[in-house]
Structure 1
C-alpha cells in the first residue's frame, strides 16, 4: 500500500483515528469528498447498508507540534487513546440507508461520489444492481440495467461509469439513462479490477482471475480483441518503440495467480499490478510492456519448499501470506512531483516497505481524501482515519536515472 508522502520527510502516527467502531457488519468499500467546508465519507457494507459521515465532526488527527506518542507518559497516552475511542463511539452516520428502505439487497462491492458533484454518488452490489443516489435526500434516483454480478465500479467521466463483472465482462453505463453503452469481454473468469488511463479515457486496463492484464480500447465495443497484454515471460531488450495499436486475441499471463488490482501511475507510463502478496511495476511505454520488478511474497504455489520434521523426514511446507487487494498511486505536491513520482512508480526492490496495523481483520477498501487523510475499512466493521505528522523521518530521494524518466 502506498502512503501519502506530502513532504520530503514524514513521521507516521502510532494509532489511527476511529471513525466508526463496531459496525453491524464488515465494511467493503469507502469513498471521501471535500465539499462546502465539509469532509464527507461514504461507506458500504456486507449488510447492504449505505452510510454517510461528516468527518469534520470527528476528532481531527494530531497535527505538527501536538504532544503525542513519545512526548506523553504511558499513562497519559493511554488515557488520551481511551478518550478518543469513547468520543468515536458517540459518532453516528448523518444518513443511513438499509436493505429495508429501498436500497440494496446484497453485499456492496463499490461506492463512489460523482467526479464533479458531491450531490450525487453511485453504489453497486454483488447481484449486479447499481443505483445512482441523491446525496441530500439520500434516496436512489436511478437504477441501471443489470449485466452480471458486479465486482467493482468506477466513474469514467461526468456522464458515465464502468463496472467489471463476475462473468469477465467490462460494461460502461450512461449516468442519465442507466443503459449500457459499451461492453468488452475482458477475462475468461471474473474480472477483478480495471483502471482508465489518466490522459486517454478510451484506454482501460483490466486484471482478472486468469492472471492476465490487458489494455483495451473502449471504442471497440462488443469485441474480445485488446491492444496489448502484460506478460511475465522474459522479453528481449529492444529499442523503445511506439505502442502497437493492432488488436490481439491471445495473451500470456502477468502473474501466476489471480490479479487482484491494477492501477496506472498519474503520468500513464507505468502500471502497478497486485496478485496474492506481491506487487509488480510495468513499463507501459513499450509495444510489449516490460516488468521492471516485483516486490513482496508470491504465494500462488504453496508446495514450493520443504521442511524437516523431528524424525528427519522432509515434508512439503505450505507457504502463506497476506493478500493485497487494492492499490493507489498518490499525487504529491507539484514541486516534489519528479522526486516522489519515481519513488512510487519505480521503487527499488530493496526499499523498505512501511506497514500500518490497526484493523483486526483484512482491510477491504481504502481511500485518500483531499485533506491528506487515508481512510480504511475492514472486515472487522471499523472505519479508521490515518493521519500523519511532519517532523523527523526518512528523507525520500530519487535516483538520477529515475529523474530522467519524468
Structure 2
C-alpha cells in the first residue's frame, strides 16, 4: 500500500509540475470580520463557549467583530480549547502565525497548532490587563521546518486565579506562508482531467499498474446470440436490476455498505457486458479513487459516478421461460472511503471518475450548509460535519431525464 501511495503522490506531482503549478507562500486569513468557527466541547476547559462575532467596541488595534470568551471558575487552573476555523485545514511551510489578543486581566496566554502530527509546543505570552497585542509566532518554532497540514488552533489562558472574572478577545488570526492551491491534507492542486467520460480509456493516473477488467459473464457464443436481439451494451438479470434500482433509496446502509454498494452495482453492469471497452473500468476507478482518499488521509475524495444504459431480462411467467428485455439506467454515486478523517471533507467532481456510455455528464447537487449546492464538473466542494459518527451526505443526480436522490453514509472519525 505504501509503495502504491508513493507512486500516486509522484504521479500527482508530475501532473502538477507539467501543468506549471507550484507551491507558493500566500497569506491565509483564518479568522477576520466575524467568520463563524467551532470550538471543541471535548476537553474544553474555558468556563464558557466563545462568542464568534462579539462587539465590545474598538479597543486600540482590536476592532469588532472578534472572538470573545468570558467567565469565572471557583478553582484556579488553565482555560484551554481547540478552534476549528473555516479555512482549516491548511498546509503551511514556515512563515508566521499572526493574531491580535487582549485580556481584561493580566495573565499568561498560550497558542499552539494541531494536525496529524499531534499537538505542537505552546508559545506563551504574558499579557497586561486591558492592552491589545498584535503578536507574531514563527511557525517553525511550533512545528519545526517541515511542511505540515494544520487542522486546528489551540488557545488558552494559564494559571487563571479562582473567582476572577476574565474576558479574553482574539482576532485577525492568519498564516503568512500557506501553500497556494492546497487541498485539505495534501497541499496540492487536484489534477482534474479534461476528457469525455464516455471514452473508456483511463491512463492510470493514480495507480501505476492498471486494474484488470472484471471477467465477463457471457461466452462469445452467448454474446453473439444476445446482441442479435438488442442494441444494449449490457444485459442483466431481473434480480440484479432490482438491487440496482432499490439501492439509492435505502436508509439502512452502513458506511461500508454505502461505499461497497456502488462497486457491487457497477460490477453487475460490467460483468454482463455484450461488448468490451464500452465504459471505463468501474473496478479500476474504484481502486484509483481509494488511492486519492488514502493519500489525503481520507480528507479529500473524488466522487464516483456510474451513468450507464443497460437492459434486463424481465420474466413474464413464474418459470421465467417467457422473457422480454427492458431498458433501464443506473445513475448512482459513491465516495471511495467509508470513513472521513476530521470534521471536513473536500469532494471533487472529476470526469475521470465517471463510468458511462452516455455523452453528457450528470448534474450533481449536494446538500451542504443547509441548502442544495451544485457541484460543477472539474470543481470541488467542502463538506463540514457537525459531529463524529455516522453522517449522511445527501446527493441529487440528474441526466437525460433520469433524476436520483441518494444518501451516502460515512463515518466521521
Q: Same fold (TM over 0.5)?
A: no
Scaled to the shorter chain, the TM-score interval is: under 0.3
Q: TM-score, normalised by structure 1?
A: 0.26
Higher share in helix: 2
Q: Which has the greater radius of gyration? A: 2
Query: RCO greater where, 1 or 2, for CA within 8 Å and sep 6 or more?
Result: 1
